[in-house]
Chains A and B, each alone.
Chain A
């Protein structure tokens, strides 16, 4: 694509220092190591993986809640690393907004919907009360809420409606990028479909770029243009959604896909059994971090860490993929 990408991430790393005791040396936890991608307007990048794989850390870096330890992040043409000046950072924050997983926890129970929605406007713009109200009502109608809802509290809404409020709040500053952290996983299937439809419509209308974090692969397959599969903070497979889903290369992607239940009564499907759970990121396995759970692992996997390499439409980090 000729236009400039809205997000350019190059080798993003985030380490946390863990204090283990007064006389013990501090340990370093690698929450994210080496995520790189480009995201253009109107496109959706899905980040998938088990809990603890660094999905949410990536979201925190993208939304500038935290600074990356290493690597370069460019949002809308501005390098976040040098955007330390308050003015630039403040402007930049308006271009990237976030919708959280739990619509019951992310809305202030003591604020009315109207107040929740206009707070970003009060902080970031100099619109007067009437203009703010117009903008709030315009957006509420757009996400399928009624005008009279403006004076209600969050507890008066169902989960799906609350998620609509959260989406409206994210869009009120007219961002270019929205980070969606498991936006539908707390919702029922039927409501999930309503919210996904709304997200897709808004994207087509406003040309938004989505970073869609999820562990539900059937949803990801439906909504994503590109997929980034992560394991223990490292990207293991990345590429165009169709290619990754139709022909997964990395054994972890294969296992994830086969673990996802399908609404299909034909039970003869062969399932790759992933035994065990995610190892602790404080003491990651040597070599390839997936080798203790990998069914194809060979001796070399224990010693050599694989690097991402491009194969056609996808890049894979696995020693055995040729």
Chain B
């Protein structure tokens, strides 16, 4: 049985202008040891879907799903107390801004041991050796000297390591990393990504990586979900997706990368992700799609072969496709 199963998750926000559908019929199934990346532009509902899973959305959000279960337990019918026993212990989440997600008023030891005391009981102080061990695990040099450090005394990379230490403290089965490296330098980004994959392998946990950086996806994930305006438009293995994108949006995202540019002008996707008031009729991507036809402007597409498109791009022959992509 899958570790995490989400079927047709929809999140709607009540706003002054009526209801806003931020996540639209998203499904995701994860096994232990999987690395799945969710990619898309900002405003495509990547984070909201995961926050819904964590139960961290404000009261204005209405969450509906056919099924949302984790490790055999139904998350939809669970009461808040039962949910709190799972969140932070079996499912944990790393946020984008390490500097703002740590509490500036407490030191590193306090913040990490708090998680442990909360979920396993006992005195916070008794977890000191475990905190040192965790800090060592995430690659902080001389952890004993860092215990009393406050977040403002740490660099961005160090804070992110502390966040990761906090999140893996209870050895979660599922770790959600929401843009974990966007705020960091490339050299530190490489270190953090390597660390996440290392921990994922060692503990056999499942990892969900939310990002908009296609290059990060290519180097870390096994499976990719491409999300656009709240909808999943394509879901495949990373090698298939990069060698042969089937949805026009995936193809456009890939060809917007400077690495793929064959000339000085980049293949930008015109326009922006539609908001609440300018949602187009038919396929949501049609105003920005270069292949859009009349049908796309009238009817929303149905999912076929894992692609949400009326006219998916053709399947390439497997043998010669690889050479084209590895430029």
Contact = CB atoms under 8 A, between A and B. Distances in A.
Interface of A: 50-51, 158-160, 188-194, 196-197, 200, 215-219, 221-223, 255-256, 259-267, 271, 273-277
Contact of A261 (B158, B218, B253, B272): B218
B272 A160 contact: yes
Contacts of B157: 277
Given A188-B42, A190-B253, A264-B326, A276 B259 contact: no
Nearest to A201: B265
A193 B267 contact: yes
Contacts of B267: 193
Given A218-B258, A259-B187, A263-B254, A194 B270 contact: yes
A7 to B, nearest CB: 22
A222 to B, nearest CB: 4
A262 B259 contact: yes
B190 interface: yes
A70 B186 CA distance: 31
A202 B272 CA distance: 21
B185 A196 contact: no
Given A263-B259, A264-B259, 17 more contacts: A50-B185, A51-B156, A189-B213, A190-B252, A190-B268, A192-B256, A193-B256, A193-B266, A194-B270, A196-B268, A219-B258, A261-B218, A262-B218, A264-B215, A267-B219, A274-B187, A277-B188
User: What is the interface of chain B mostly: helix, strand, loop, or mixed?
Assistant: helix
B52 interface: no
Contact of B190 (A221, A259, A267): A259
Interface in B180-230: 185-191, 193-194, 212-219
A222 B261 contact: yes
B104 interface: no
Interface of B: 41-42, 141, 155-158, 185-191, 193-194, 212-219, 238-239, 242-243, 252-254, 256-261, 264-270, 272, 325-327
B185 A262 contact: no
B192 to A, nearest CB: 11
A190 B44 CA distance: 13
Contact of A158 (B188, B219, B272): B272
A264 B258 CA distance: 13
Contacts of A218: 215, 257-259
A219 B260 CA distance: 11
Contacts of A190: 41, 252-253, 256, 268-269
Contact of B326 (A192, A266, A275): A266
A215 B156 CA distance: 15
B266 A197 contact: yes
Contact of B265 (A158, A200, A266): A200
A127 to B, nearest CB: 33
A215 B261 CA distance: 19
Contact of A222 (B216, B217, B258): B258
A263 B215 contact: yes
B36 to A, nearest CB: 15
Contacts of A261: 186, 189-190, 193, 213, 215-216, 218-219
A259 B189 contact: yes
A277 B41 contact: no
Q: What are the nearest 7 A-B pairs in CB distance?
A: A193-B268, A261-B215, A222-B258, A193-B266, A259-B190, A190-B269, A194-B268
A48 to B, nearest CB: 9
Contacts of A264: 215, 218, 242, 259, 325-327
Contacts of B185: 50-51, 215
Nearest to B216: A261
A271 B155 CA distance: 23
Contacts of B219: 261-262, 267
A9 to B, nearest CB: 24
A263 B325 CA distance: 9
A189 B187 contact: no
Report which residue of A191, A216, A263 has the largest number of chain B beta carbons within 10 angstroms of its beta carbon: A263
Nearest to B255: A193
B269 A193 contact: yes
A276 B140 CA distance: 9
9 contacts: A50-B186, A159-B42, A190-B269, A215-B186, A263-B217, A263-B260, A265-B239, A265-B242, A277-B157
A263 B224 CA distance: 13
Contacts of A276: 141
A196 B259 CA distance: 13
